[in-house]
Each structure stands twice: as structure tokens, then as C-alpha cells.
Homo-oligomer: A and B are copies of this chain.
């Protein structure tokens, strides 16, 4: 099969840091265009908008949308209707309903739709899923604590409606847990702490369970200074598993069992190439659905105002 001719839309930090290198390293793809209002890429046809890119390059097979979630729906729809394969950064949309609409459109389109969750491609995630598959799970605890001032300096959008606050990182944890646990789970109660000057929570405590009443808890914090924590702890009838550092390390009973270099975006593009070859879509809204459920069912507490400068 000849390489998939792909265009990137939205040439921001995530595109430059992750998408461009992953594409450059993957012979299944040929990056032939970018669309970006403010930037261009040397050696590649550059356009101001997706519309212009689609118009000028009918030979394009696929587009990868690295734009903010609020504008992604219209772009994804336009590309799918033009018969292109479409890859979406996470989260796949600003609402569940628009993602549902895209998923339905993809079913009747020639192009594949891939709603990505990059953390699912962290190196220890698949080993963890396999290790858990044969064991009885007793308890799950997610601890996702980072310092917003370090990771999102000056990014005011994260506190606006739809910005999701602490769920912007925590949706990565939810994307891992929904991938490695053998059963669906759902929220029973939760507490979301909203700074008095923000439209999104800065911390949350969530209590889920599954159909077998397995307790699944999450402790999310966006004000963690010092060591940062992106860990998932799972107690089973045959030992305890810990996924640490965002899924890059797997420990069993405190012994490091699996560790490998970070390869999340290369993993995403390998999966996208597979979907395109099979003409299949992969749209799992479960992580975003859990966030929406938390906003729907969670108790709101107002806490001290958040100011970026500390």
C-alpha cells in the first residue's frame, strides 16, 4: 500500500512536539500539507484553513485534527464528508452529542474516524490489561495530581466553560482505566471543587463502582507541588498492580515488571494506519462520558480563587 497522504490541521504545541515527529518516523504516512492560521511547515504545502487544504489537495487521504475541541466538530464533519480519514486529538469534542453525531456520520462515510486517547498507548498499559484479565479485582484507586502552574502556565482556557480544569489531565487516567479494567464502571458520587473565579474544577474526589460492586476511587488535584503523581493502584486476589508515571511503569507488589520508552504518539499513528487499511473507525467516548457524568452528578464546592501567578 502506498503511504497515506496526510494533512495536519492546527500547528500548535502538541502538533509540533508529538504529531510531526511521530509522522516523520512512520513510513505508512506521508505528511503533505498543514493548515494553520498562524504557522507553516517547511517543505510541506501550507494553508490557512482546512477548507483551502481540501480544495487545493484532492489527493489527500487523511487529516489529523490538532485544533482545540470546540472547533473540531465542524472540521471533522467537513473532512469526513470529503471522504477523508480523520484522526481527532483528545478529547474528541466539546460535548458527547457532537461526538455521537460524528461517529454516526463516520458509519456512513468511506473514511475512518479515530478518536484518540494517547495515554492508552503508554508502554505499560497493554501489559497491565493483560495482567488484570485473569485476576479478580478487589479495589482500584486513581491518584492524578499535578501542578497546573507547571503544565499549563497562563492557559486561561482550561478554567473556562468546557475547559474541564483538573479533568483535562485526569481524562488521561480515565482513558487508561476504561482500557484496562474488564468491566464498565460508573459514578456513584463525587465532589468537584471549583475556585470561586473559575468555571472548571481544580480538584475532585470520585467514587465509582462496576456491576460487581468493585470500589473504584479517584483523587484528582491540580495544585500538587513537589513530586507529581499519575498513578493507578489495583488490588487483586493475586497481587497488587501499580501503574506509575502515567502508565509508563508497571509494578506488581512493588516490583518493577515493565518499563519502556514513551511511544504514545507513534502508537496512535500505527493504530490509525491500521484503521485506515481496514476502513474501520474507533470512537470510544467512555472517558469523556465519565467526565460529563462527574459534572452531572458531582457535588460542587466553591474554594479559593485560582491565580496563575501563585
Chain A residues packing against B (C-beta within 8 Å): 73, 77, 94-98, 100-101, 104-105, 161-162, 164, 184-187, 189, 194, 199, 211, 286, 289-293, 295-300
Contacts and interface: CB of A to CB of B under 8 A. Distances in A.
Contact of A291 (B100, B194, B296, B299): B296
A101 B186 contact: yes
Contacts of A187: 94-95, 97
A186 B97 contact: yes
A161 to B, nearest CB: 4
A175 to B, nearest CB: 14
A237 to B, nearest CB: 23
B95 A297 contact: yes
Contact of A292 (B77, B189, B286, B296): B296
A167 to B, nearest CB: 9
Contact of A293 (B96, B185, B189, B194): B96
**The 9 A-B residue pairs with the shortest CB-CB distance in the complex, in nearest-first order:** A97-B186, A95-B293, A292-B292, A98-B186, A295-B295, A161-B299, A292-B296, A101-B184, A162-B297
Contacts of A299: 161, 199
Contacts of A291: 296
Given A101-B211, A291-B296, A292-B292, 13 more contacts: A95-B186, A97-B289, A97-B293, A98-B186, A100-B289, A101-B186, A161-B300, A199-B299, A289-B292, A292-B293, A292-B295, A292-B296, A295-B296
Nearest to A291: B296
A162 B186 CA distance: 14
A104 B211 CA distance: 12
28 contacts: A73-B186, A94-B187, A94-B297, A95-B187, A95-B296, A96-B96, A96-B289, A97-B186, A97-B187, A97-B286, A98-B186, A100-B184, A100-B286, A100-B289, A101-B186, A101-B211, A104-B184, A161-B300, A194-B300, A199-B299, A289-B292, A291-B296, A292-B292, A292-B293, A292-B295, A292-B296, A295-B295, A300-B300
Nearest to A96: B289
Contacts of A194: 300
Contacts of A292: 96, 289, 292-293, 295-296
Contacts of A77: 211
Contact of A189 (B96, B105, B161, B290): B161
A161 B95 CA distance: 20
A153 to B, nearest CB: 24
Contacts of A161: 189, 297-300
Contacts of A94: 187, 297
Contacts of A96: 96, 289, 292-293, 296
Contacts of A105: 211
